[in-house]
Structure 1
């Protein structure tokens, strides 16, 4: 297997990950309504489980079967994603009999239309076909991409910018933690133990976070909890850069694992609260594209920083600034947007004075009955239709109240 073929095959594998990851997250949001935060947090536990077990499994397979056998076993393990995808079913709406009849009639009408042959299609010309393809592409992009949300939805715009900036330094400590520890004289086994502790913390915390975030008291404040977790996660990187002893790094991985668990549990829940579920797939796709850019350049930039300075500690300081600033940005942005929403209040149409007499919409006046005893007579007339107000009898005009279905 050559290097070029490896790059090509890894690209196909990552494409498969993308095609399985985003639909599963989207279906999770459609399956659950009240317990959506609990479901997202509980499903993210699988990430923590893989973080703690897959490196150990890969090392064991590499020692027993070599890299070819390891790839075969891991490929068979990933093949179970097909089984999981087959279990999932879309939630389709139930069609009534009238709708089915209408659909059948429409299909019969379409079947009676003449079908254009190949020769007639060729006569339409290349320009017409290109114009149609371009218009279809524009409609497809408008429907399935969320570029309009970046302009029209300020909350989504703030969340997308904050998460994209966060990804620049969020995963870099996971890449450089073991090299940082071994470069400062720590044994390889003890350095690998730090990653195992990080995975165990994630496994233990994420189910607990799922239970807590499923409580009603957390509804509406997920974004602030998410931002505070980002702030704690970023500040913990500065602890790692200050010292490289095993005890200090152990404290670091515990704090990092706690904050990482909260971030992973709320990453998609906050997005589901920011946009409508009908636009969630396109919104998630756009954020994933933006994240991929910063996620791609983050580790190489960290490597360049290590090569230029000769110290791994500067990498953790840079990650601390990046992740902490993203948390502060989200707190400030959403606090400002919430204040603006409270100041705006309900729409002005809610304050419009409604008629106090007519209880039926579209009630038209045709006549007003005469008063009795100097007081206006109140007529409870079903389906009354008044067109004009003639001269009144007595001191005041009569009031008429239209009441239907009484």
Structure 2
């Protein structure tokens, strides 16, 4: 039966029901096809974002680049102040390394400081870009490269003229620009307005509350646990094997990914290199990333890598880990420059694909919670990585063993992710393949499958046709 009532007729009917008295509970109320928007159902176009892959999204992308330049690159600059902090507080390497490790861990998993700028910037970028998401992520990751190329030299300049205390004050003032970036990150508005509630019709939640009464304490606890499980992505971690493998692999990778940047300057200066020249190595690393990260995004969008981004990411992690072995050759500027070159190339692909792979593994509505759980997990390894490296330096009196340990962590995580995804996809292909049947007895007798209840119809000659459905 087709409902031919107009929106005006629906409005009058709602007013008459409201004048009759309080509405019936939800279980006694008859269903009506009228709504405040009329009988028309929202079309898919109405649900599309207002500015996908462009528009205000370019402003959001620019703000994200600046946020990443100020947040992710800053902990790496602590290596510039490493020797001064060590001499000022008479601390060993293990104790001094807690400064950058706590800063990096809070950046990924706190509710404090950099975390309030870093995570929202990454999450909102995925809502503004869908078709060009890989390219947008690679451009956003250039923010880290810009910070690595400029902040070390700027930090060395401040340290020379104002000491480490004055340098921290000025750098803190520069970091306040994240507030300006946050002001332009507007939520993506939907194309259609929310349907207004008709007068006399309470909300569904209010109906349930009125019919069932107040929730008990056990119900509230269950609802809280369910919300916690959803927003912390614990259900994804338990049900999505790809997300499970990726989160564990990235968490283990972070044990050796950031540590080389923290110990590069102390390693160079301990072998007689000037601090300004050692800081130049970090700037060169950042400059290579500036040009390579957009190129890495373009390469990752090639058709040959479609659906294989995880393998490209694992390969980049493997090369990045092996590059640490170059530091074991020596501490001269030419050797460390070669290390910086290989490390920067692989780091460009890691930075470009880190969030892109996660967006392909989980649905976009669950991406913020999935990102939150991964950052919480990796904050543990980011917290203990630098102190473990400092403990290794204190016990061996050699910085090169830190780079060897980072190599082991990176290579093992790369092999784990690549092999685990390959085995998972192979098992999925096996389950999707159709069952193989035995060869027919003769060429004119082909098995097409017989279901229970099928009828056999005898045709002329020796042919028999099986009717399995009508």
Q: TM-score, normalised by structure 2?
A: 0.64
Instruction: Pick from 120, 141, 147 the counterpart of residue 50 of structure 1.
Output: 147
Map of 1:93 onto structure 2: 190
- Cα distance in 2, alignment partners of residues 347 and 76 from structure 1: 63
Between structure 1 and structure 2, the one with the greater Rg is 1
Q: Describe the superposition over 1:337-372 as per-residue Cα deviations: whole angstroms up to 9, x where unpaired.
A: 111121121799xxx9999xxxxxxxxxxxxxxxxx
Ranked by relative contact order (alpha carbons within 8 Å, sequence separation 6 or more), the top structure is: 2
Q: 2:123 aligns with which of 1, 26, 40?
A: 26
Instruction: Pick one of 241, 248, 256 that aligns with 2:343.
Output: 256
- Look up the SS of the partner of 1:232 in the other structure: helix
The equivalent residue for 2:171 is: 74
Tell me the equivalent position of 1:246. Answer: 333
1:318 to 389, 405, 427: 405
- For the residue of structure 2 that corresponds to 1:92, the secondary structure is coil
Counterpart check, 1:200 vs 2:200: no
Q: 1:74 to 1:275 in 2, by over 3 A?
A: same
Pick one of 139, 150, 157 that aligns with 1:60: 157
Partner of 1:374: none
For 2:270, the equivalent position in structure 1 comes to 183
Q: TM-score, normalised by structure 1?
A: 0.74
Query: Per the alignment, in what secondary structure is the counterpart of residue 113 of structure 2?
Result: helix
Q: In angstroms, what is the RMSD of aligned CA positions?
A: 3.2
CA contact (8 A) 1:36 1:214 kept: no
For structure 1, list consecutive stretches of 5 or more residues without a partner in the other structure: 117-123, 356-400, 402-406
Matched with 1:365 is none
Q: After TM superposition, give the deviation of residue 135 of structure 1 in Å.
A: 2.9
* CA positional deviation for 1:242: 2.4
Residue from 35, 40, 43 that aligns with 2:137: 40
2:242 to 136, 155, 158: 155
Say if 2:289 and 2:348, in contact at 8 Å, map to a contact too: yes
Distance 1:354 1:269, change over 3 A: farther
Aligned to 2:202: 109
Q: CA deviation at 1:320?
A: 0.6
Counterpart of 1:305 in structure 2 is 392
CA contact (8 A) 2:156 2:276 kept: no
CA contact (8 A) 1:37 1:214 kept: yes
5+ residue gaps, structure 2: 1-88, 90-98, 436-447, 452-469
For the residue of structure 2 that corresponds to 1:302, the secondary structure is helix
Deviation at 1:63, TM superposition (A): 4.1
Match of 1:333 among 415, 420, 424: 420
The 1:241–1:353 alpha-carbon spacing in structure 2 relative to 1, beyond 3 Å, is same
Is the 8 Å Cα contact of residues 265 and 279 (structure 2) preserved in structure 1? yes
Question: How many residues matched?
Answer: 332
